[in-house]
Structure formats: C-alpha cells, structure tokens
C-alpha cells in the first residue's frame, strides 16, 4: 500500500540518518584500523516504522529536515605517485675516428754523383837510411830530421867555410852556421839555404851541400850510371831575381873539371828550368805563374850519366806530372860526377833563400 506523505518523510529522514551514521562509523573504523558493525538500512527502517506506528494518531508536525551533520572528511590515502620510468639517455653516437693524415711521401733525394777520386801521388817510401821509393835500391837519402848528418853529407860550401875545411866534421866543430840551417816547417825539419851578395866560395856565390865528390868512387856517379833523384823544393817568397840573364842553380850534377852537366835552376822571371848536357838548352818545367813562391814542389829527375851525348840524358816530373821529356846530352866530362843541392849563382844584390827536404838518390823510381 502506498505510504502516506508523513511516513515517506519519516523513512527518508531515517535513511538519511542511517546513511550519515554509517559514513561516520566507517570513517572512524578506518582511522582506528578495526572492523565496525554497520546497521543495515532496512533494520533502521523497521525500527523507525514501528515507532512511527505508536504515534500514528498524533497530529503530524511539520518535520524539519535534520541539520546536516558535519563530519570530518574522510582522508583518503593519496594516490600512489608513479615516478615516471627514467628515460634512458640516448647512447652517444660514436664519433668517427679521423682519418689519419697521409704524410706526403718524400721524394728520394738523388745521390750526388761522386767526383772521381784524384789519383794518389806516389811518395817515396822509407828505405834503409831514409825515405825512398818502394822496391828501389836507395844509395842515400835524408829527411833532415837529425839536422846536418855527416854520415850523408861530405862537403858544405858557403862563405863560412871559404877560409877553412869544408868537410862536414871539421865545419860542424867550428860552430853554428848561419847560411845553412835546419828549421822546422809544418812539423818537419828541412834544410834552409841562404845566399847573400858576397857569399863567395870556390869561385862563386854559393851555399851548398854535397854527399860525395868526384874522387870518392863509392859515391860518385860514374859512366853509364842510371838513377833517380827526388826532392821537395820551395823558394822563399822574398826571392826577387835580377833581370841580368845570368845563371841561378838550385840543384846540379857537377863534373870534376867543368861546368854542371845537368841542372835545376831559375830564370830571371823565376821559371823553374831543367838543362841537360854541357851545351844543352834549358826547358821550362814550371812557368813563373805556376811556380808559386812559398809553396812546396816535388821534383823527380830521371838521368843517365855518360860522356857520350847519344847515351846520356835526363827527363823530369813535377808533382807527379811529367814536365820535360827525355833529352839527350853529354852528362859527364871525366870519370865521375856528383850531386849538389842549395844555391849557386852569379853575383847579384838580391838575397836568395830556398828550402829542400826528403832528398833520395836511387837506382829506379
């Protein structure tokens, strides 16, 4: 049967109250963390209906809606905050390795063309008693490292010996010479010959050494003798020749009774000359422009001693280069001849200074 309006109002109020109580009880139970008995709405409705029947005959009063009960809001746990999954950092793209810089291939440096080595100058090799070519029979030699060696040199001729004995032992005993000395040049002792105007001996101006004489058969150069004479020669830069056309001899093959048969000498212009034979003409070995004063020259003379001009003769090399070909001539005037080194000249005002080293007399080059 349909409910009356008053009953509907009562039921509605009861339902509201039940709802309110139920919500409050649930909320408290939630806070206390224990289960709560809940009265069902239907029981409340039945209780309320029964109470309402006892008052059915009473005048219905206007029912005011119950004042809303303010209850503490139910605190709901905040929603779980889901942290966003970390975004994986993008893997860096590998940086491509730079391509190695290609170094330019160096062009091969062309090897310089080697200059041809100059032919070695054949120098005299040591032999018994001094320096001489290998394989030669050295008759005598001197490098002057002992100064004046009377075992080699027999005669000394200069103005200091003009009034006394010119034999080596006697001359050495008289004191130190001033015209023939043995200084050291470039680490080697050499023979130095000085000749001044008026330095006369044996008929001319001279400063010479000789290893033998014509009357000493053991060392004299006799008929048919063939040999080589080698020496280093230098003319002092102070040399100023007079233009007089006279002779100036630096080395001579001297005969016993006449003029030298073979000579090395200087012209007025300081050309180096070779003369062969008693009547022979001089050949220029080294012209003045090449024969530089103050420099050493190696001079080698190949010769044959003979009274026969068709047999005797000589030729010469300077610094290993042949400068004079074979020239025949009479190279002896008697039974013997001998060598002399130093200076022999006609009288003149100029002072002459020459140097000699490494002299060798041998039977072949």
Evaluate if residue 211 carries a pLDDT over 70.
yes
* Percent residues over pLDDT 90 in the chain: 31
State yes or no: pLDDT of 207 exceeds 70: yes
Cα–Cα distance between 361 and 229 in angstroms, integer? Answer: 5
> Is residue 287's pLDDT more than 70?
yes
Which is more confidently placed, 52 or 179?
179
In this predicted model, which residue has the larger pLDDT, 318 or 28?
A: 318
pLDDT tens readout for residues 107-137: 766 666 666 665 544 443 333 333 444 456 8
Q: What is the mean pLDDT of the chain?
A: 72
Q: Are 159 and 170 in contact (CB under 8 A)?
A: no
pLDDT at 218: 47
Model confidence pLDDT, tens digit, residues 249-282: 999 998 766 678 899 999 988 899 999 987 778 8
Show contacts of 30-36: CB within 8 Å, 24+ apart: 30/74, 31/75
Which of the four pLDDT bands, split at 50, 70 and 90, describes residue 295? very high
Mean per-residue pLDDT, 131-156: 78
At 268 the pLDDT is 85
Q: Could you tell me the pLDDT band of residue 302, with boundaries at 50, 70 and 90?
A: very high
Is the predicted pLDDT of residue 22 greater than 60, yes or no? no
122, HSE (Cβ side, Cα atoms, 13 Å): 9
> Which CATH fold would you assign to the domain 125-362?
Jelly Rolls (2.60.120)
Residues whose CB is less than 8 angstroms from the CB of residue 93 and which lie 6 or more positions away in sequence, other chains included: none
Nearest to 280 by CA among 328, 240, 246: 328
| DSSP assignments along 222-287, one per residue | -TT-EEEEEEEEEE-TT----SS---EEEEEEEESSSS-SEEEEE-TT--EEEEESTTPPEEEEE-
- Cα distance between residue 348 and residue 244, in whole Å: 9
* pLDDT per residue as tens digits for the range 83-111: 445 555 556 565 656 665 666 666 766 66
Tell me which of 118-127, 128-137, 229-238, 355-364 is least confident. 118-127
pTM: 0.62
Spans of all domains in the chain? 5-53, 125-362
């Amino acid at each position: 049967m349909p409910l009356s309006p008053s009953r509907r109002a009562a039921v509605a109020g009861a339902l509201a109250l039940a709802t309110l109580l139920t919500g409050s009880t649930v909320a408290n139970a939630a806070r206390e963390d224990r289960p709560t008995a809940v009265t069902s709405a239907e029981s409340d409705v039945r209780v309320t209906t029964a109470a309402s029947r006892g008052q059915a005959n009473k005048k219905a009063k206007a029912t005011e809606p119950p004042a809303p009960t303010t209850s503490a809001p139910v605190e709901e746990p905040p929603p779980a905050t889901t942290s966003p999954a970390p975004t994986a950092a993008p893997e860096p793209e590998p940086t491509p390795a730079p391509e190695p810089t290609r170094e330019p291939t160096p062009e091969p440096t062309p090897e310089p063309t080697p200059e041809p080595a100059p032919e070695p100058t054949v120098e005299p090799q040591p032999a018994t008693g001094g320096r001489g070519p290998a394989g030669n029979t050295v008759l005598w030699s001197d490098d002057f490292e002992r100064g004046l060696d009377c075992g080699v040199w027999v005669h000394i001729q200069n103005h200091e010996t003009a009034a006394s004995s010119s034999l080596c032992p006697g001359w050495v005993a008289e004191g130190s010479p001033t015209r023939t000395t043995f200084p050291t040049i470039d680490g080697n002792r050499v023979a130095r010959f000085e000749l001044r105007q008026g330095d006369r001996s044996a008929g001319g101006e001279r400063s010479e050494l000789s290893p033998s004489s014509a009357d000493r058969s053991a060392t004299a150069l006799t008929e048919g003798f063939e040999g080589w004479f080698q020496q280093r020669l230098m003319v002092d830069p102070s040399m100023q020749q007079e233009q007089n056309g006279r002779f100036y001899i630096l080395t001579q093959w001297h005969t016993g009774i006449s003029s030298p048969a073979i000579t090395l000498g200087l012209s007025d212009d300081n050309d180096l000359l070779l003369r062969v034979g008693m009547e022979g003409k001089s050949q220029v070995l080294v012209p003045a422009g090449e024969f530089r004063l103050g420099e050493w020259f190696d001079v080698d003379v190949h010769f044959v001693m003979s009274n026969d001009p068709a047999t005797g003769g000589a030729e010469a090399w300077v610094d290993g280069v042949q400068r004079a070909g074979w020239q025949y001539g009479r190279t002896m005037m008697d039974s013997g001849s001998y060598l002399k080194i130093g200076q022999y000249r006609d009288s003149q005002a100029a002072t002459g200074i020459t140097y000699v080293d490494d002299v060798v007399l041998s039977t072949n080059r």
